[in-house]
Amino acid sequence: MPCLVLSAADDETRKITLGHPLLHDYLVFVAARARTSTWLAVAYDLKVFFEVVGKEPAVVSAADVFAFLSAQRAPRRGERVVRLEDGEAGLAARTIARRLSSVRGLYGYLCAREDTGVRRNPVPASLAARRPGARRGRGGVPLIRTPRTLPRVLAPAEVDALRAALRTHRDRAMVDAMVLGGLRRCEVLGLRLEDLSAGERRLFVAEGKGGRQRVVPVSARFFAAVGAYLESERPPAAATRQVFVVLKGARRGEPLSAAGLDEILGGARSRAGLAHATCHQLRHTCFTRLREAGMALEAIQAQAGHASIESTRLYLHLASGWLEEEYLRAAEAIEAQAALPAGEAGR
């Protein structure tokens, strides 16, 4: 059975192994091209898969993959207990889909090597569609249907309450970077001093999702908060170039971690009496408000760092005012056309 072993130094993960040479080689490959969080997620997904399947990688079949799917979808808290989100009793569909993606990636790597005994990927991309002559792959039926749910966004009053509950300029600057600039959590923590351009009110995101870089404008409110933090709170002796560092304790002056930012946000959320306020919800809130204010989808795509415009179209649904205005405009045109005499309607 695979055993997940982590090796860390200076609070940073340096090595992950699962006790199998082929899995180890793949994790080394993943580590060279993905963030630590992705690396850890892939390692854990593979650990779970091979614990359930109980076979060597080279002899895993499609039947084993379907058996794994069944095990993941088995009820976790009784047959009659389901999630409201997707009506499922087992693991969330997104979690299962991610685990299948990790396994599919492993076998894609093993097939490409041609020296592992693996000749085909046992994880189907999809099942054949029901229409005659349809092929597997694009247009087929996915193994897991993930619900397309809209994310939560914060109302303006909730954002104000959350910001008022923050205790330092540093914390307000980090929240402003997400709610005003739309930065991801990892992008906020990855900001370096040289990435700030206060005169132009811009930020340089050096390590965005997928390794994509971008320059984004951010409101003056962010730069006011980060300026106050740098002037009065950031330890002068901090050796790192990261903007946001720990302010107290044994790690004072060291880069702030993702867990540290989540703890800060959780405390402020509790003090503000909010049920929901995560880093990603702040990001969604930013782009929803920008869309409601009339910002073009292409501009929001550039601000967000989305590789595809399809990811950005989500904010058309969240910005309910836009949909209402478009509907009313179309409905008025239809009603005006219907009100015309029969002879004039076709002119």
**DSSP letters along 130-199, please?**
SSTT--SSTTSB-SS----PPPP---HHHHHHHHHH--SHHHHHHHHHHHTT---HHHHHH-BGGGEETT
> How far is it, in rounded angstroms, from Cα 226 to Cα 307?
29
Token look-up 């090796």 returns: 7
Decide if 155 contacts 163 (C-beta within 8 A). Answer: no
With a cut of 50, list the residues of the chain below it in pLDDT.
Answer: 81-82, 136-137
How far apart CA 246 and CA 144 sit, in angstroms, is 41
pLDDT at position 31 is 87
Q: Does residue 317 carry a catalytic annotation?
A: no
55 is catalytic: no
At 110, give phi and psi (nearest 5°).
-65, -35
> What pLDDT does residue 207 have?
83
Q: How far is CA 291 from CA 165, 218, 283, 303, 318, in A?
A: 27, 15, 13, 12, 9
Q: Is position 184 annotated as part of the catalytic site?
A: yes
Q: Is 222 helix (H, G, I), strand (E, B) or coil?
A: helix
Contact 188, 177 (CB under 8 A): yes
Q: What φ, ψ does residue 327 adopt, rounded to 5°?
A: -65, -45
Q: Residue 134 to residues 126, 287, 312: CA-CA distances in angstroms?
A: 12, 38, 30
Q: Is 44 a catalytic residue?
A: no
9: three-class secondary structure by DSSP: strand
pLDDT at 75: 80
Predicted TM-score of the model (pTM): 0.75
Q: Give the chain's end-to-end CA distance (angstroms, integer).
A: 75
Identified catalytic residue from 26, 107, 229, 315: 315
Amino acid at 282: L
Whole-angstrom Cα distance, residue 248 to residue 253?
Answer: 8
315 catalytic, yes or no?
Answer: yes
Which position among 47, 170, 184, 284 bears the catalytic label?
184
Q: Which of 47, 169, 172, 306 is catalytic?
A: 306
Query: Could you give the percent of the chain with pLDDT greater than 70?
Result: 84
Catalytic residue status for 280 = yes
Q: Which of 73, 201, 209, 271 is catalytic?
A: 209
pLDDT at 198: 93
The one catalytic residue in 192, 280, 313, 327 is: 280
